[in-house]
Amino acid sequence: MESKPLGDLPRLELNESTATRIRQFRERQGHPEAWVAVNPGGLQGERLTFTFALVEPGELKPDEILVEGRPDILFVAPRIISRHVVGSQVRSDPTSGALSLETGYNPDDDPLAQAVQQMLDAEINPAVAGHGGYIGLLDIADGVAYVQMGGGCQGCGLAEVTLSQGVRGAIIERFPEIVEVVDTTDHASGSNPYYEPAKK
């Protein structure tokens, strides 16, 4: 991959105390040049959370973007959550140092996203709630709706059945602008995992 001038990278907000925490953590881990990977971590209620991990700098995958926090602190994120990451603010907890992302993207500003989430809340989530779960809309891009499952749905062995037989069909039938529905949930790390992640 050709290196891109840092000035051309999309940015997120990073205050100096958070930048210092990241630099210190990278030094302690022995990876002072590491990128910080941002991924959707799951839903807490209706709020999307994010996970952070150090990764070695290298080639970006086609479905990833590089985002600048500081000239020496770069974040790598899946394209499907890029609207959540770009322009948002990463904060660090004063006590634990744990990172959190306060996203400026609001699906309610998108009439289509708002309509899809309202349908999920009115028609899908009441049934899913009986199993302690929740399905939320993460994003809509290029005709694809990205959903995230939380609570009892995360890690549930029937999650794909629920998505393929119910949610996917309901969304596509109701909204012809949407041609596919993708589950972005990390089911292997759910509270009730029915399977282990594949060994690489």
Instruction: Identify whether the C-beta of residue 101 lies closer than 8 Å to the C-beta of residue 51.
Output: no
Domain assignment of residue 152, given as a range: 107-189
Q: Which of 71, 102, 133 is the last residue of a domain?
A: 102
Q: Is 197 part of any domain? A: no
Within 8 A by CB and 6+ apart from 115, the residues are: 175
Residues 17 and 87 in one domain: yes
Give the tens place of pLDDT for each residue, 67-90: 999 999 999 998 877 877 888 899
Q: Is 89 part of any domain? A: yes
pLDDT of residue 197: 30
Task: Identify the CATH number of the domain in which residue 32 sits.
Answer: 2.60.300.12
Total number of domains in the chain? 2
CA distance 66 to 35: 9
Instruction: Identify whether the C-beta of residue 177 lies closer than 8 Å to the C-beta of residue 143.
Output: yes
User: How much is the average pLDDT of 143-151?
Assistant: 78
User: Beta-carbon neighbour count of residue 164 at 10 Å?
Assistant: 12
Residues 95 and 113 in one domain: no
Instruction: Identify whether the C-beta of residue 147 lies closer than 8 Å to the C-beta of residue 167.
Output: yes
Task: Specify the pTM.
Answer: 0.64
Indicate if the alpha-carbon torsion angle 141, 148, 193, 153 is positive or negative.
Answer: negative
Q: Is 195 part of any domain? A: no
Residues 11 and 96 in one domain: yes
Residues 50 and 115 in one domain: no
